[in-house]
Amino acid sequence: MTLALEAVALRKRYGRTWALSDFSVSLPVGRVAALVGPNGAGKSTLLQLAVGLLRPSAGDIRVMGWSPRAHSQQVLPRVGFLAQDVPLFRGFSISDMLQVGRRLNPRWDQATATTRLQRLGISLSRSVGHLSGGQRAQVALAIALAKRPEFLLLDEPLASLDPLARHEFLKELMEAASTDGLTVLLSSHVIADLERVCDHLLLVNAGRLQVAGEIDDLMARHALLVGPQVEPDVVIPGVEVIKSLRNIRQTSLWVRAQRDDFRVPAGWQIRDLSLEEIVVAYLGNPDANAFPAPSLEGIAG
């Protein structure tokens, strides 16, 4: 199983602040992964480290098996990046921007990019400065995809887009992702955006990876248990409590099932948690972690 992104004990410091401390992650290829976390958690830092814009202070990071800074010639042609705030050259037309991509990359699919932009009603002769936020994002996405990358990283691509523009952007992204093997990692601090589009979640909190795993699996393993008032130290077998809320009448527990045969205790109700509720629970409890159980896939595959 190839890993699109692998980090081991990654650390990155700006001055005296540690943006990432002891950060480790393994993201398999083919996933559409959400990188979520509060502002300042280290999401943008991780993405920039992955494309070689930053150099780690310590630890190791590899993209498709290569170090992005030391082996940029192996990584960059296979990786597409959409930076935060979508930087495009002022005064350039869209076709100028496509020219830039064409001349700076070994592989370039001009036809798909122009078709896509025409389909979206964005004329190639327009100046970059006259585009709306949504259109800029689409242009930047078209440029990143025209490179035919294997791995696409997007730094808060939806941040300044209105709901319609967000929807349009995600549709284009998903259409591209339905091509075999494209791995996507996109960051946002709004989870609702990503829930329908991503199948994998990475939660970064205060420079550390707190939650990682398939979203379906996370949703299946987490639940809200509501029951009678109990003592704080009462242990419910088979679950780890992430968050709890008590009043004199009832106890609410946000839990992760540790075993597949977990049963709801008598007198308790269970309901599913949305992804956002799961994330919020973990953000409130930085010591709690959820990582996938090691699988045998790597050995057999």
Partner 1 sequence: MTWVIWRQHRVEAVCAALGFVAATIILFYSIQLADSVRVSLSSVGQSDALVAFGDRVGAAATTTTFALLCLPVLVGMFIGAPLFARDFEHGTYRLLLTQSITRRKWFWMTSALLLVPIAATAAWLGVLGTRWSEALGSLSNQWYQFDEQGLAFASYVVFALSLGLSAGVLLRRAVPAMAAAAAAYVAVRAFVEVFIRPQLQPAVRIGQDAPIPDGSWVFSNTAYTDSSGRTVSADKVNQLLQSAGAIPGTVADYLHAHGISSWVYYQPPGRFWAFQAEEALIFLVLAAVLVGVAAFVVQSRSD
Partner 2 sequence: MTPIDFHLNPRSGISYNTQLIQQVRQAIRFGRLRPGDQLPSVREVVSRVAVNPNTVLKAYRDLEHSGLVVTKTGIGTFVAESAPSPVDPNRYESLRKDLAKWVVSARRAGMDDPTIMDLVELVLREMSKRGVA
Binding-site ranges for partner 2 (CB under 8 A):
32, 167, 170-175, 177-178, 192, 195-199, 216, 219, 272, 274
Kindly state whether residue 250 participates in binding partner 1, applying the rule CB under 8 A.
no
Kindly state whether residue 103 participates in binding partner 1, applying the rule CB under 8 A.
yes
Mask of contacts with partner 1, 129-158, x by CB under 8 A?
------------------x-----------
| Residues facing 26 on adjacent strands | 6
> How far is it, in rounded angstroms, from Cα 290 to Cα 212?
6
Enumerate the H helices of the chain as residue ranges: 43-50, 72-75, 94-104, 110-119, 133-146, 163-177, 191-195, 215-221, 275-283, 297-300
- E strand or H helix at 52: none
* Residues 6+ positions from 45 with CB-CB distance below 8 Å: 12, 19, 20, 54
Which bin fits 37, alpha (ψ -120 to 50), beta or left (φ > 0)? left
Among partner 2, partner 1, none, the one that 172 touches (CB under a kind-dependent 5 to 8 A) is partner 2
Among partner 1, partner 2, none, the one that 51 touches (CB under a kind-dependent 5 to 8 A) is partner 1
Site residue total, partner 1 (CB under 8 A):
33
> How far is it, in rounded angstroms, from Cα 150 to Cα 29?
9
Using alpha carbons only, give the angle 19, 64, 203 rounded to the nearest 5 degrees: 35
| Single residue of 92, 244, 285, 289 touching partner 1 by CB under 8 A | 92
Instruction: Provide, rounded to whole angstroms, the least separation between the CB of residue 69 and partner 1.
Output: 9
For partner 2, the closer of residues 103 and 249 by Cβ is: 249
Among partner 1, partner 2, none, the one that 32 touches (CB under a kind-dependent 5 to 8 A) is partner 2
Residues at the site binding partner 1, with contacts judged by CB under 8 A: 14, 48, 51-57, 72-73, 76-77, 79-81, 83-85, 87-90, 92, 96, 99-101, 103-106, 147
